[in-house]
Amino acid sequence: MITPSQSIQLRQVAEKAARLGGDPLLGVFRSGMDYGYKRDRHDIVTEHDRASEARIIAAITGAVPDSTIIGEEGGEVGTGRVRWYVDPIDGTSNFARGIANWCVSIGAAIGEELVAGVIYDPVAGNMFAADLATVTLNGTPIRVNAEAEQHRAVLLTGFPNTKHTRLFGRQALDAYDELLDAFLAIRTLGSGALNLAHVAAGWSDAAMGFRTNSWDVGAGAFILERAGGRYFGFRDGVPMTPGFLMPDYIAVGRDSAYPVLAAVMARLTGGTANDRILSKEALGS
């Protein structure tokens, strides 16, 4: 483990790297750009994703040589003690089409324990940042501020998309219908990292994701928990730790009771999640 002061240093490195990766993107945003495909035509990548990741890696490894980078575009590089989870543009489809919901996400871990994280939204000029001592938005402390009951809450999620309908079939649409009925509203930002940042800042109440990657959620999970929220990672419907390394998640404010989220998670993944996970008693423990 590391000290809070060491965590602060890693957070500062992440902030600088995020700005170096993200600020140049403003010069090409909404300028029209070509893009290619990764897994399928719903999973795009631009030359700017790769260039941003290269700038971020150079900044991190220059400041912290004892590093391993786990990046969306370049995979795992290095064998260092500090493990960095890097998404150079979270929300690439938004970025490529001129929609302003995209960000840079960088989380730092020692072993499997997150110790620092930043989510940088260049368009809005917002830097969400956390270390073992503080959690802030542009230098001002933040705290979750979620509605206690799900019928008053807003859920941020990219579910369901084509990946989910392929995985879960008609059950995905049925589950979405259930969530629509349970929550005040559901909104899709198009960036999982921003979903978590918005819950951490108290701007929304809950977030949910399926088949995510560590670079998608590492920074956001840490920022959320430092802001007083709860992040539950699931594998095959079973809550497991460390949560950010699990493929599915539910994220809520500390005292929020949203049992339908756990019920949907269990039904779609065939696991053992139940509404006790998101009961007031469990969340307040």
Binding-site positions: 72, 87, 89-90, 216
The total number of residues written for the chain in this structure:
285
Question: Facing residues of 257 across strands?
Answer: 149
For residue 22, the tally of other CB atoms under 10 A from its CB is: 23
Q: Among 54, 45, 48, which residue's Cα sits nearest to residue 25?
A: 48
Binding-site residue ranges for Mg(2+)? 72, 87, 89-90, 216
Distance CA 90, CA 82 (A): 22
- Omega before 160 within 30 of 0, i.e. cis: yes
